[in-house]
Amino acid sequence: MQLTPEENAMLSGTEGVAARKCMQILVALGEIYGASRLVKVSSVQVSGVSYKNLGDAGIEFLEELARDGRARVKTTLNPAGMSLTGWREQGISESFAEKQLQVIDAYRRLGLEISCTCTPYLAGNEPGFGEHIAWSESSAVVYANSVLGARTNREGGPSALAAGLTGRTPLYGYHLADNRRPTLRVDVDAALKSPEDFSAMGYFVGRAAKDGIPYFRGIRSAGIEELKTLSAALASSGSVSMFHIEGLTPESGAGAGKSETISFTPTLLAETVAALNDAGTPDFVSVVCPHCSLSELATIARLLGGRRTTREFWVCCSKEVKRKSDEAGYSRAIEGSGAKFATDTCMVVAPIEELGYKVVATNSAKACHYLRNNGMRVRFLPLEQCVLEATR
């Protein structure tokens, strides 16, 4: 792989141990995937923040890099395993919190922004069309490639961090125009009436598309809420990193070409929703995944309508969106009900299985997928019904 003099300097160690280690990771990746060179990135988003996933080995890795490493480009963080300020109210143990705060402290010393959100594009890290970036949260990768037209592979936590500390990533995969063409045409025959319908469709299509690129036909409109939950679902049941929607997403203009075709019918929608529902009454309710937009917080405040919660109810969002919600008056209505803002975290990356909960109601197919992997039972319900369950 061709390296510039500056990149060679990093690789040789003259710019410090962390830069050398990061360059080694990127060069190894580039060689595996046949990249001809590295490309400069304008934005990085790092996953691998929850102590639940990182463990002590992860802390050691970060501490080592933090000795002399420093982010060279805007680098933001995925959610952590707890709210960084409200963890006691969430029931998180002192021992978990101590480790989680060590993780955050290491990232802070590395110069990362402690944003702790899976929707960086709603919290000040929104790259433009055609920009090369290195993101690792899978739902945000799909959103960035498909909706923003930015270019990123689905990075792992270490390779994204290496990109942040060097400002570069190997030029292969979704960074190249030829690899951004559809592989599967999806004729949408079902009427999609809510973000949850988009989530269910994404869950079904992700399985069919595997690591390919679906091209949806028959969708007339979709807002941020529909697009972010579709992105999340596609990346959870499959390894999708990008999709197109005819007439809506910025790179859909070339059409579906000769790709294989499937249909998403009303029957498949109903079957997918049914398959995401286990038996049992929810003892924990958590919305929204990916992290709430301001508009979703407005809806939750309205749906609560002054009622009190009777079950643990987490509303997951970034600190940035929560700040806007405070200004708009939605936070008062939400917190006044007894619901808790899960800023910096979510029901999947927090250790809720250790808190004794068994059945989680949520409005995201992605969350259902990972909660089941964590041994929980799930109910996949529309947002309105989730609020009803929380206040029943």
Q: Which residues bind ligand F3S (CB under 6 A)?
A: 79, 118, 139, 232, 289-291, 316, 346, 348-349, 366-367, 370
Least Å distance, CB 218 to ligand F3S, is: 26
Compare residues 26 and 359 and give the one whose CB is closer to ligand F3S. Answer: 359
As given in the structure block, the two tokens for residue 153 are 């592979």
Containing H/E element for 209?
A: helix 195-209
Our CB check for ligand F3S shows the closer of 19 and 140 to be 140
**Of residues 19 and 232, the one with the C-beta less far from ligand F3S:** 232
20 within 8 A of 48, measured Cβ to Cβ: no
Nearest distance in Å: CB 321, ligand F3S = 12
- Give least dist CB 13 to ligand F3S, A: 35
Q: Which is nearer to ligand F3S, 120 or 127 (CB)?
A: 120
**CB 193, min distance to ligand F3S, A:** 22
Q: How far is CA 318 from the centre of its chain?
A: 12
CA–CA separation, 224 and 131 (whole Å): 20
What is the Cα–Cα distance from 196 to 180, expressed in whole angstroms? Answer: 26
Question: CB 161 → ligand F3S: shortest distance, Å?
Answer: 17
**Residues 157 and 349 sit within 8 Å (Cβ to Cβ):** no
The nearer residue to ligand F3S, 76 or 252, going by C-beta atoms, is 76
In the complex, least distance from residue 372 CB atom to ligand F3S, rounded to whole angstroms: 12
Q: How far is 347 from 222, CA to CA, in rounded Å?
A: 25
Whichever of 256 and 381 has its CB closer to ligand F3S, that residue is 381
Rounded to the nearest angstrom, the gap between the alpha carbon of residue 55 and the centroid of all alpha carbons in its chain is: 20
143, containing H or E segment: helix 138-143
State whether residue 378 is helix, strand or coil: strand
